[in-house]
Structure 1
Amino acid sequence: MSLVSAAKYLDVALSGIEDGLIVVLSLAALALGVMQVTLRYVFNTGYEWNEAAFVLVTITAMLTAGVRAVREDRHISVDILPSIAPKPVAAIMNVTAVLASLGLCVFLAWCGWLYVGFARMMDTASPETGIKDWIVYSIMPTMMCLFALRYIIRLIIGVQSKPSHKEGAS
């Protein structure tokens, strides 16, 4: 199995996991939000952990969707220069952008893991949920590692000067 075919296999496998996470976490956020609003405004009660849980699942779902946006090249980017540059120059610009994004993701993951280590050392927990803070803070470096993995896959499979899903689009 070549490196490119292994990257394509990993790409497809990650896509399924990302789709599942986005759906499950979005539905969980919807359920938590509806439950809290119903309890608060209909029954004048509620759970104090609900707000924190709602925020956590929403943020995790949106970060997962961001990872998915990297796969589909639908993240925010400046496209004007590559679109007017000659194809070889545009390809170099796109590879440079992916390398810069990869570097940033790796840096943020590393900084995040340093902070998670600090939070573990402090051994604090959320008063609303009782969940250890380091577990909650682990979401960010984990997602940054997934972003980095997506950029690595893009580099292995090949960064086109103009992504295929945008070709023919107006």
Structure 2
Amino acid sequence: MKKGQRGYRLFEDLSSGLFLVTGFLLMFYEVVMRYVFNSPTTWVNEISTMFVVWGVLLGLSLGLRDNHHISVDILYEFLPGKVRRLIDFIANLAGLVFCLFFTYNGIILVGRGIKSSQVSIETGIPIWVYYLVVPISGVMFGIRFLTKIYELRHAPSVEAGKEAETIEHYHAF
């Protein structure tokens, strides 16, 4: 299980990172071609934008994995451990439901792109290729919400941890 988790983490890191870096390198290439060689390209803006969007959407699961998403916890910190766990469960469940909605609609979007046979004007790439990131990122994000729910369900109680800590503290005297 741990090996699979490490492999998945590496996949998340590499997929997001490679798309972002490639997108930014293509943007740099366009700047050099346009302002140094006075020979702008027609395809780089579209492709670099696609790469950056893919990198960002694939990186959503990284933010959740490493707890880097924005959260407001001013009141949350004052709640008892059991209530916090319930709120965490509900929030992660809501996130999972969103991912299911996002993935489902992404699949519909890709299907419509395939059915329409539309291609990009600048590059001639089928439009569904651009849309493919939506269901892929939805699944990756959903996997992270499922992981959070699993960890929350199988983690020891915060209250039990505090009780054990208090007991150890009193035994030290």
Length-normalised TM-score, structure 2: 0.83
2-side partners of 1:29 and 1:117: how far apart?
26
* Aligned residue among 146, 149, 158 for 2:140: 146
- Name the residue aligned to 1:49: 43
The 8 Å contact of residues 30 and 41 in structure 2, kept in 1 or not, is answered as yes
User: How far is 1:9 from its partner?
Assistant: 4.3
- Unmatched segments (≥5 aa) in structure 2: 159-173
The 8 Å contact of residues 69 and 75 in structure 1, kept in 2 or not, is answered as yes
The 8 Å contact of residues 82 and 94 in structure 1, kept in 2 or not, is answered as no
CA RMSD of the aligned region, Å? 1.8
Are 1:156 and 2:111 an aligned pair? no
Are 1:15 and 2:9 an aligned pair? yes
Q: Greater Rg, structure 1 or structure 2? A: 2
Aligned counterparts, 1:83-162, within 5 A: 83-158=77-152
> What letter matches 2:108 in structure 1?
L
* Aligned residue among 54, 63, 67 for 1:73: 67
- Name the residue aligned to 1:62: 56
Count of residue pairs the alignment pairs up: 156
2-side partners of 1:13 and 1:158: how far apart?
22
1-side partners of 2:104 and 2:11: how far apart?
23
Task: After superposition, give the CA deviation of every residue in 1:69-125 in whole Å (9 maximum; x if it has no partner).
Answer: 111122122323321110000000001000000000111110111111111111101
Question: What is the percent sequence identity of the aligned residues?
Answer: 27
Are 1:36 and 2:27 an aligned pair? no
1-side partners of 2:15 and 2:136: how far apart?
14
- Unmatched segments (≥5 aa) in structure 1: 1-5, 163-170
- Larger RCO (CA under 8 A, 6+ residues apart): 1
Length-normalised TM-score, structure 1: 0.84
